[in-house]
Amino acid sequence: MAQTWGHFFFSLLDYKTEKFVIAKNKKVGVLFRLFQLGVIGYLIGWVFIWKKGYQETEETIQSSVVTKLKGVDLTNSSQFGLQLWGAEDYVIPPQGDRVFFIVTNYLVTPNQRLGYCPESPKVPDGFCTSDSECPEGESVIAGHGVKTGRCLNDTGTCEIHAWCPVEHGKAPTEPMLAKAENFTVYVKNFIKFPKFGFSKSNVLPTSNSTYLKTCKYDKDHHPYCPIFLVGDMINWTGFHFQDLAAKGGSVGVGIEWNCNLDKDESRCNPEYSFTRLDSSDNLQHSATSGYNFRFARYYNDAAGQTFRNLFKVYGIRFDILVNGKAGKFSIIPTVINIGSGLALMGAGVFACDMILLYMMSKSSFYRETKFEAITKKSGRQRERKHGRHHGHHRHDRRHKKEDKPSSEVDALTSVSVQGNNPERPENQAKSHSPERKPHASVSFRTPHSSGKHTISPTSTLRTQRNQ
C-alpha cells in the first residue's frame, strides 16, 4: 500500500506529453489549416483590431448636461397684441435642463376671470337639452368647470362655474415664433469614466476667446462647436422646422463619447446625432402627433381681483441623451481573448477528427490506427492470434516507458526478452504489416542488454499490473 502511494507521488513528478498521429490526408490537412487560418484571422482581425479585445472597457458614463438658449422673437396675435418672447419666456423649464421645451406656437385666452359661462362645445359631457342634464355641483368630465344646474339654449351646453371665458379657437397653422428656427442652443456636457478616472467636457479648450460666441455646430466644419441652431438640429433629423413648429414635436440629441484611452486625450471627442423621437409613418394625420400643454399667468387688477392669461403652447421638446464607452489596454481581457481563440482551435481539431474518423472513405483505417483498446483479455487473444512475432508492433504507446527509471526498464526487458525473438530483423517485421507503418515498432536499448528489444502486449500489461 505504502509502495503504491509512493509510486503515485513519484508519478506526479513525471511530465506527460501527448503523442500525435499524423494522418497523411491532404483534404483534412488543408481543411484544418484553413480553419486555423480562419481562427487566427478572426482573433487578430475581428477580436483584436476591430473589437479591441485587448482593452478593458467601461460603459457606465457619468454625465451632466447644461443647456442655454438665446434668441428673441416678437409675435402679434389678434386677441393678445404684440408680445416679446425671450429665452426666459419660451424655454420651459427655464433652468437649463437636459430636457427642455421651446415654445414655437401658441393659443392664448387672455383675461379669464372666475365666474359663470357656457362650457366649450368641444367637450362632449357639456352638451344638454334640459336643465336636468346639468346637475348642480357635478364637474364636467374632461371639461373646464363645475355644472351649475342650468342648460344654456344658445350654445346647447351646460353653464359652468369656471375661469371664463373658456378657451376656444385653434392654434395658428403657421408657427407664431417663426424665428425660433434661428435660436441657438448652447450645450455643455461634462462626462466622467469613473473606472479610468477620466473626465472631459464637450466644450474644448480654445485659445480663441470669441470662437464660442460665433461658432455654429456643423458636422464637417465645426464638429466640436457646442452651439446649435434649432432649425439645423431639426433639419438633421430629416424633418423641416415647419413640420414640427406648428403642432410640436420631440427631438432627441445624442452625444456619443467613444474613447480609446490608449490614445491621446485630445482624440476623445463627442459625436452628435439628431433624431425625431415622436415620429411614426402616418404622423401627419394621427392623434399622437405633436406636443402641447397649457399654463396660465396670474395677475391682479387695480380692484384686487385675480385674472389670468391661459396659454396653450406648442413646441419642440429636446432630450439630450449622453452615451459612451471607454477602453484601455488591460492584460486580463487580452489573455482571456487569446485563450478563447486557442480553445476555438481545439474545436477545429475536434471537427477535423470527426471528419477524418467517420466521414472519409478510409475512415475505418484511420480509426483502427488511432484507437487502441487495451484490455487484458483482448491483449492476450491478439497475441495468441497473431503469434508472438506480430505482437511487438502494436505497442507504440510504450515509447513512454523510455524515460522510466532503469529498474523498471529492467523489469520490462526481462519479460519482453522471453516473449520475443531478438534475432528477428526489424524491417522484416515491418514489411509484414504495411498498414502499421505509422506505428513503427517500438524498440529501445536498455542499459543492461546489448541488443534491441521490443515489448509484447502481455509483458507491458504485466508490468502495469505490477506497479
Q: How far is the CB of 181 from ligand NAG (least distance, A)?
A: 5
C-alpha–C-alpha distance, residues 9 and 13, integer Å: 7
Is residue 181 a contact residue for ligand NAG (CB under 6 A)?
Answer: yes
308 labeled part of a ligand binding site: no
Minimum distance between the CB of residue 180 and ligand NAG, rounded to whole angstroms? 8
Q: Is the CB of 47 or the CB of 245 nearer to ligand NAG?
A: 245
Q: Is 283 annotated as a binding residue?
A: no
Least distance to ligand NAG from the beta carbon of 88, Å? 20
Is position 73 an interface residue for ligand NAG (rule: CB under 6 A)?
A: no
CB of 233 to ligand NAG, least distance (A): 14
How many residues interact with ligand NAG (rule CB under 6 A)? 4
Please indicate if the annotation marks 157 as binding a ligand.
no
Nearer to ligand NAG, 179 or 188 (CB): 179
Q: Is 380 annotated as a binding residue?
A: no
The stretch among 81-89, 161-169, 176-184, 327-335 that binds ligand NAG (CB under 6 A) is: 176-184
Strand partners, 134: none
Cell numbers 391682479 correspond to 300
Q: How far is the CB of 71 from ligand NAG (least distance, A)?
A: 10
Give the range of 60-68, 151-159, 173-181, 282-290 binding ligand NAG by CB under 6 A. 173-181
- Cα torsion for 187, 192, 198, 201, to the nearest 10°? 10
- Segment interacting with ligand NAG, rule: CB under 6 A, options 174-182, 208-216, 265-273, 368-376: 174-182
How many Cβ atoms are within 10 Å of 93's Cβ, its own excluded?
9
Least distance from ligand NAG to the Cβ atom of residue 203, Å: 24
Other C-beta atoms lying within 10 Å of the C-beta of residue 430: 15
Nearest distance from C-beta of residue 274 to ligand NAG, angstroms? 18
Residue number, 75 or 459, with CB nearest to ligand NAG:
75
| 293 annotated as ligand-binding | yes
Task: Name which of 32 and 236 has its Cβ closer to ligand NAG.
Answer: 236
Nearest residue (CB) to ligand NAG, 146 versus 178: 178
| Helices 406-419/457-466 angle, 10° precision | 140
Would you say 36 or 242 has its CB closer to ligand NAG?
A: 242
Question: Least distance in Å: CB of 86 to ligand NAG?
Answer: 16
Backbone angles phi, psi at 347, to 5 degrees: -60, -35
Q: How far apart are CA 349 and CA 447, in angstroms?
A: 39
**Residue in 415, 425, 401 with CA at minimum distance from that of residue 456:** 415
Residue 312 annotated in ligand binding: yes
The answer to whether 70 is a known ligand-binding residue is: yes
Q: Give the nearest residue (CB) to ligand NAG.
A: 182
Cα-trace Rg, the chain: 44
Choose the binding region for ligand NAG from 42-50, 177-185, 255-263, 317-325 (rule: CB under 6 A): 177-185
Q: Does 401 bind ligand NAG (CB under 6 A)?
A: no
The residue (of 179 and 380) whose beta carbon lies closer to ligand NAG is: 179
x/- letters, 182..201, toward ligand NAG (CB under 6 A): x-------------------
Of the pair 92, 178, the CB lying nearest ligand NAG is at 178
| Binding residue for ligand NAG, selected from 66, 178, 204, 277, defined by CB under 6 A | 178
Q: How far apart are CA 94 and CA 96, in angstroms?
A: 6
CB of 209 to ligand NAG, least distance (A): 23
Residue from 179, 192, 308, 389 that binds ligand NAG (CB under 6 A)? Answer: 179
Find out whether 268 and 334 touch, Cβ atoms under 8 Å.
no
- Least distance to ligand NAG from the beta carbon of 231, Å? 7
Tell me which residues touch ligand NAG (CB under 6 A).
178-179, 181-182
Binding residues for ATP: 68-70, 184, 292-294, 312
